[in-house]
Chain A
Amino acid sequence: SQTIHQWPATLVQPVGSPLSLECTVEGTSNPNLYWYRQAAGRGLQLLFYSVGIGQISSEVPQNLSASRPQDRQFILSSKKLLLSDSGFYLCAWNHEGEVEAFFGQGTRLTVV
């Protein structure tokens, strides 16, 4: 069966520090991969999506970047965190043409 792993679960980082969140998918190949951010009282905002290795599309301009070095690995990064980067970050996957997306357990990032 397919599983999605996301870590860490919780992270507290100072302003100006770098960020690296990792997401891996097991039990499937060539997934579409997504990074979402969820702020309190707001829906999930799509940040990045990837349809293949090295293929990244950004939905909104921001202080973050994403990379996909392997088929089932998706990384969210920042060189210098801002206070406004705080939030709940979720990785998700599905296959092309499928409606349902499967989410990881999320990383709660607090920038202090």
Chain B
Amino acid sequence: QKEVEQDPGPLSVPEGAIVSLNCTYSNSAFQYFMWYRQYSRKGPELLMYTYSSGNKEDGRFTAQVDKSSKYISLFIRDSQPSDSATYLCAIDSFSGGYNKLIFGAGTRLAVHP
């Protein structure tokens, strides 16, 4: 079983739609959950992260963690064409003095006008 599972999509939505991106993970010990955004031919950039369970909101983006079901989500409200990118969930496994980021496969999102 992979440590982090993510549907690679692609996902195509009209502008203004609410987007839901999801991942599941296997190790209940994970504490930090991250969402990275990657534009085509670029390196990923951290979008937001949450610690333990709960929600975190930043503008149009909401990250949600449900530790009981080992499920993490990213919601994008009022999606824009500029949101078109690949979204990668990541789990932070801190051990031995470094952060080993375990990534999902990434979901490619296309928001069309």
The B78-113 residues at the A interface (CB cut-off 8 A) are 88, 92, 94, 97-106
The reply to whether the CB of A32 lies closer than 8 angstroms to some CB of chain B is yes
The reply to whether the CB of B60 lies closer than 8 angstroms to some CB of chain A is no
Given contacts A43-B88, A94-B99, contact A100 B41 (CB under 8 A): no
Q: Which residues of chain A are within 8 angstroms of B104 by Cβ–Cβ distance?
A: 43
Which of B42, B92, B100 has a CB less than 8 Å from the CB of A105? Answer: B42
Give the number of A-B contacts (CB < 8 Å): 61
Pair A90/B44 contact, Cβ less than 8 Å: yes
Given contacts A51-B98, A96-B98, contact A101 B105 (CB under 8 A): no
Interface size of B by CB at 8 A reads 25
Which of B43, B99, B102 has a CB less than 8 Å from the CB of A104? Answer: B43
Minimal beta-carbon separation of B36 from chain A (angstroms): 8
The reply to whether the CB of A44 lies closer than 8 angstroms to some CB of chain B is yes
Pair B99/A43 contact, Cβ less than 8 Å: no
Binding site for B on A (CB under 8 A): 6, 32, 34, 36, 41-46, 49, 51, 59, 90, 92, 94, 96-101, 103-106, 108
By Cβ-Cβ distance, the 6 closest A-B pairs, closest first, are A103-B43, A43-B103, A44-B103, A43-B105, A100-B46, A32-B98
Binding site for A on B (CB under 8 A): 4, 6, 8, 32, 34, 41-46, 49, 88, 92, 94, 97-106
